[in-house]
Amino acid sequence: MPGAAAPGDSVDRLARTLAPTLYLQPDETFPLSRVAAVVHPTRPIVAYHLLWRDDVHGAWIPFTVPTDEEVVWVGYDPATLTPTELWTYWHGRILHTDWRGKGPAAFDIQWGKHGSLPRGVAQGDLPKLRSLNLFYAFTILGLPDIWLSNTERKGPWCFCHGYKRYREFTRPLPLDQRLDLVIRTDDAHEALRAVFGEKYSNKTRWP
């Protein structure tokens, strides 16, 4: 890939140093397929694009691409190379939190749909129409959609637990050794298309 960082060079080391740990819900079915780290050339921020194997909903819809792309961002102090703020893409909204003094970057990953949250975010701080309560309700109201999706590929038949378990994020998945691409650019569209495929979601590039 033109412009990709070589293993062990300064850009590669930066992306791996700041690479977050994802905390998955323990019943998550779909694995993380690929990860691309995009280092901004002028701003102290790294984007981590995450390609999940699939989304729990909508797999039965004709021409649906069987992947789910999400993205998180880690802002850092250039002097110390420590995380200072986090952003996440949460169902069309970008969430932000101050991370100074909280240690390595960490994110909670929603069951089935893989929306990303800063680790330990207060549930009441989420947008009202994008709350975890509402998405949990969708796992019940949307059962016919989940069943239809499961006829097209191997996946869950339901979220077969209560809301308390839906909010558990206890399976750690460190990303520092999972990076398939590290690149320094402000426009990674062509690189992501090469790594994720022609029809990847092309989510927001930067917060």
pLDDT tens string 142-186: 999 999 999 888 999 999 999 999 999 999 999 999 999 999 999
Structure tokens belonging to residue 15: 């992306």
Q: Give me 128's structure tokens.
A: 């009202």
What is d(CA 24, CA 115) in angstroms, rounded to the nearest whole number? 11
Confidence of residue 110 (pLDDT cuts 50, 70, 90): very high
pLDDT above 90 (res 52): yes
At residue 31, the pLDDT reads 96
Q: What pLDDT is stored for residue 36 in this prediction?
A: 97
pLDDT of residue 41: 96
Averaged pLDDT for residues 104-121:
96
d(CA 119, CA 97): 10
Which of 77, 126, 71 minimizes the C-alpha distance to 97?
Answer: 126
Does residue 111 register a pLDDT over 80? yes
pLDDT, tens digit (0-9, with 9 covering 90-100), for 32-51? 999 999 999 999 999 999 99
Burial label for 30, CB within 10 Å (0-12, 13-18, 19+), is buried
Task: Evaluate the CA torsion angle 172, 177, 181, 187 in order and state its sign.
Answer: positive
pLDDT at 200: 83
Q: How confident is the model at residue 64, as a pLDDT? A: 82
Residue showing tokens 């033109």: 2
Per-residue pLDDT tens over the stretch 63-93:
887 889 999 999 999 999 999 999 999 999 9
For the chain, give the mean pLDDT.
94
**Looking at residue 134, what is its pLDDT?**
94
Query: By the 8 A CB rule, do 23 and 121 touch?
Result: no
Whole-angstrom distance, CA of residue 20 vs CA of residue 133: 26
Q: What is the pLDDT of residue 201?
A: 85
Helices (H), 98-154: 132-141, 143-152
Q: Which pTM does this prediction carry?
A: 0.95
Q: Provide the pLDDT for residue 29.
A: 94
Q: What is the pLDDT of residue 198?
A: 84
Predicted pLDDT at 129? 87
Residue 199 pLDDT exceeds 90: no
Residue-by-residue DSSP string for 34-61: EEEEEE-SSSSEEEEEEEES--SS-TTS
Asked whether residue 62 carries a pLDDT value surpassing 80, the answer given is yes
18: left (phi over 0), alpha (psi -120 to 50) or beta: alpha
